Amino acid sequence: MKKKRKTLEAGNIVSIVEYTAPIVRNDTPRQRAEKKRASTAAQKAINNRTAQGKLEMKLAANFSKKDFFITLTFAPGREPKTFEAAKDIRKKFIRQLRDSRRKSGHTLTWICSIEHLHTDKAGNQTEGRYHMHAVINAAAADDREIIKSLWPFGNVHITKLFENEYHLNEWIDIASYLTKERPIDGPDKTPVGKQVYSCSRNLKIPKPVIEWVDENDTIEPPTDADIKINESFDRVIDGRHVVFRYLKYTIPEEPKPPQRE
């Protein structure tokens, strides 16, 4: 018996899922279908196809602590009336910022969500004021001034990524925050598609490494890793007993060398 191992690395995050499944040569259509169902179950187990899980890995792969978490608001009388209007404003803002970066020889990497709902303590969502949250890469000393100059609609709040006022201290925190709004009923009240955020095309997308290993082969995180999830569970799929393991951890960032006096 072999087991399938899928390893995904992004920044300092490592996500590994393993599940036992027989390797069948010259599969029949039925056997291929059974293996596909097992693979689908594994994907659901690691939860990396949800908006939040995918966004966490994108963030970790493309940004660092030196980059920015930005909140853009609208002053009374300047707010958009519809979600489509908010999208147009975001597109113009990003285009102008990208053009500014190009003129100075820098690139722009960004992820942005548009929000317009208010969530109470019970988790109920009601209409609120439009605003935007964005993660943008740092490029030059005058980044803050340029970003503020390109937003004439209201306030601009800029902090380093993990110094925000929302106490978002990890990539999963930021991913959860950027995807917290869900569609509600009514005209023009549904975020675009199933992805509730937009991002630049130059983002690096982490690719998994997939391999077949012996059933008794084990993998453990480094001793200095911060383990986020380490779970094993069983499932019966098409009459076959399948054992899953999901391991997710972060590794410490490289410390900066001491400066010489």
Tell me, yes or no, whether 78 and 189 share the same domain: yes
| Least confident interval from 74-83, 97-106, 142-151 | 74-83
pTM: 0.77
Tell me, yes or no, whether 31 and 68 share the same domain: no
Q: What is the tens place of the pLDDT at every residue in 79-124? A: 999 889 999 999 999 999 999 999 999 999 999 999 887 666 676 6
Q: What is the tens place of the pLDDT at every residue in 159-171? A: 999 998 889 999 9
Comparing 69 with 242, which gets the higher pLDDT? 69
User: What does the alpha-carbon distance between residue 94 and residue 19 come to, in Å, rounded to a whole number?
Assistant: 42
Residue 260 lies in a domain: no
Domain with 127 in it: what CATH number?
A: 3.30.70.1910
Tell me, yes or no, whether 126 and 11 share the same domain: no
What pLDDT, on a 0 to 100 scale, did the predictor assign at position 36? 62
Tell me, yes or no, whether 16 and 127 share the same domain: no
Q: Which domain holds residue 175?
A: 60-199
- In Å, the largest CA–CA distance within the chain is 69
Tell me, yes or no, whether 65 and 189 share the same domain: yes
Residue 245 lies in a domain: yes
